[in-house]
Structure 1
Amino acid sequence: MIRLENVNKSFGDLKVLNDISITFESGKTNLIIGQSGSGKTVLLKSIIGLHDVDNGAIFYNDRNFTELNHKGKKEIRKEMGMVFQGGALFDSLNVEENVRFPLDMFSTMSEKEKSKRVAFCLDRVNIQNANHLYPAEISGGMQKRVAIARAIALNPKYLFCDEPNSGLDPVTAIVIDNLIQEITKEFDMTTIINTHDMNSVMEIGEKILFISKGYKAWEGNKDQIFNTENQALNDFVFASDLFKNIKKST
């Protein structure tokens, strides 16, 4: 679980986050949505500690992340996994080496244990016979699956995904969504996904935070979103004719 209490963040005179309070639950896919410039990326970066908040608190279970020193924050970061936009695999490393990288950097496993863990993670994301291929030699969807395997290599308690479906076709995007949801439940992780993909919202939105102009404008789930009277949310989610028709049919 990750809990935010009255989080605020400004850059100079520009107030980006305004008094954000919410709880992201473990074992569920928690989505942050909002228009470009709404503050959702700053919020995600604040949660993982890339930005220091001006005031308010961010709790990882019962640990106040905002009050910890560098050493304390580093310990919590060891419990995090990150899937970056675009995958962000190392071009000079093959698939196996990419997944092995965090184990080499942060674990005390033996070489045999690392190999076993890499094999498990690749199998979990349904990657076979690709260990020695390089990122340029595999598809975008496979790159995202390798990125997920790398993110779970250290068995994290917290998984963060920044636009995980960026650049993927709709069918592959659904595969990635379902994979993230499956491993979230399987390992009881607290997963937070920053996305603008409305298909993801409708597919795996178990907890949704809608940010508008730096404020928490709405929270709920994928079922409640069809009945909301929040005009800003309706304008954002049902902007396309496809989703307008879905809303009318519910």
Structure 2
Amino acid sequence: MIQAEGVCKSFDKKEVLSDINAVFEPGKVNMIIGKSGSGKTVLLKSLIGLHTIDAGRILYDNRDITVMNSNQLKEIRKELGVVFQGGALFDSLTVLENVKFPLNLFSAMSEKEKIERAIFCLKRVNLENVENLYPAEISGGMKKRVAIARAIVLQPKYLFCDEPNSGLDPLTSIVIDNLLSEITHEYNMTTVINTHDMNSVFEIGEKVLFIHEGHKEWEGTNENIMYSDNKALNEFLFSSKLNKMVREKLRRKC
């Protein structure tokens, strides 16, 4: 479980996050949603320690990362898997080398064990016989699956994904959503996904946090989100930018 308690963050005296309190539950797909500029990406980066917060605490199973030294943070990071927007694969490394990369940093495995573990993770995301290819030689959806394989190679307790469906077609997005949901439940991970994709929210989002102008405006499940009386959330859900399919799904459920 991950807890954010009173989290505040400012840049150049501009407050981006204000008193955020939230719980991200293990064995569930936890989603952070909100408009561009709402602060959700800053929150995600704060949760994984890429931003130092100005106030509050961030707890990983009651371990406060905001007071940890560099060695303690390194130990925590062994328990984290991160899928960055766009995949963030190393272009100069093969698929296998990309997936092995965290093992080179954090494990004491032999080279044979690293290769076996990396290939196992590639198979888990339904990729076979691609280990010797380079990122430029595979599709966008395959790149995302390689990034997921790399993120789970250390068997993390916590998985973070920043816009995992960004740039993907609808069918490939469904594949990625299903994969993230499957591995979350299979490994009982605390999965936190930052997304604009409301199709993903309604299909796999078990816990949803809505951020608006740096504040937590709403928190609940994808089952009760359409019954919210929060004005900002309803405006976000029914905005013209949302997929027509999502709006229709909301109307049917209401």
TM-score higher than 0.5 = yes
Q: Provide the secondary structure at the position in 2 that maps to 1:208.
A: strand
Give the match for residue 247 of structure 1. Answer: 250
Q: Is the 8 A contact 2:100 2:114 kept in 1?
A: yes
Give the match for residue 38 of structure 1. Answer: 38
Aligned residues: 250
2:182 equivalent to 1:182: yes
**Alignment partners' CA distance in 1, 2:108 and 2:238:** 49
Tell me the CA shift for residue 119 of structure 1: 1.6
Tell me the CA shift for residue 235 of structure 1: 1.1
Q: So what's the TM-score if we normalise by structure 1?
A: 0.97
Tell me the CA shift for residue 131 of structure 1: 1.2
2:204 equivalent to 1:201: no
Give the match for residue 128 of structure 1. Answer: 128
- The one-letter amino acid paired with 1:186 is E
Tell me the CA shift for residue 238 of structure 1: 2.2
Tell me the CA shift for residue 222 of structure 1: 0.9
**Alignment partners' CA distance in 2, 1:248 and 1:124:** 36
Unaligned runs of 5+ in 2: none
Give the match for residue 91 of structure 2. Answer: 91
**Alignment partners' CA distance in 1, 2:98 and 2:199:** 29
Give the match for residue 232 of structure 1. Answer: 232
Query: Which residues in structure 2 correspond to 1:101-120 (within 5 Å)?
Result: 101-120=101-120
Query: Which residues in structure 2 correspond to 1:157-176 (within 5 Å)?
Result: 157-176=157-176
Q: Is the 8 A contact 2:199 2:246 kept in 1?
A: no
Q: Is the 8 A contact 2:165 2:176 kept in 1?
A: yes
2:63 equivalent to 1:63: yes
* 1:73-123 Cα deviation digits (max 9, x unpaired): 111011111101011111111111111111112210012211210121011
**Alignment partners' CA distance in 2, 1:185 and 1:242:** 27
- The one-letter amino acid paired with 1:162 is D
**Alignment partners' CA distance in 2, 1:13 and 1:93:** 40
Give the match for residue 74 of structure 1. Answer: 74
**Alignment partners' CA distance in 2, 1:150 and 1:233:** 34
The alignment's C-alpha RMSD in Å is 1.0
Give the match for residue 144 of structure 1. Answer: 144
**Alignment partners' CA distance in 2, 1:87 and 1:103:** 18
- The one-letter amino acid paired with 1:141 is G
Give the match for residue 154 of structure 1. Answer: 154
* 1:22-62 Cα deviation digits (max 9, x unpaired): 11001101100100110001111111111111111000001
- The one-letter amino acid paired with 2:233 is L
Q: So what's the TM-score if we normalise by structure 2?
A: 0.96
Q: Provide the secondary structure at the position in 1 that maps to 2:233.
A: helix
- The one-letter amino acid paired with 2:27 is G
- The one-letter amino acid paired with 1:243 is V
Give the match for residue 52 of structure 2. Answer: 52
- The one-letter amino acid paired with 1:40 is K
Give the match for residue 17 of structure 2. Answer: 17
**Alignment partners' CA distance in 2, 1:207 and 1:44:** 15
- The one-letter amino acid paired with 1:207 is K
Unaligned runs of 5+ in 1: none
Percent identity of the aligned residues? 64
Tell me the CA shift for residue 242 of structure 1: 3.4
Tell me the CA shift for residue 246 of structure 1: 2.1
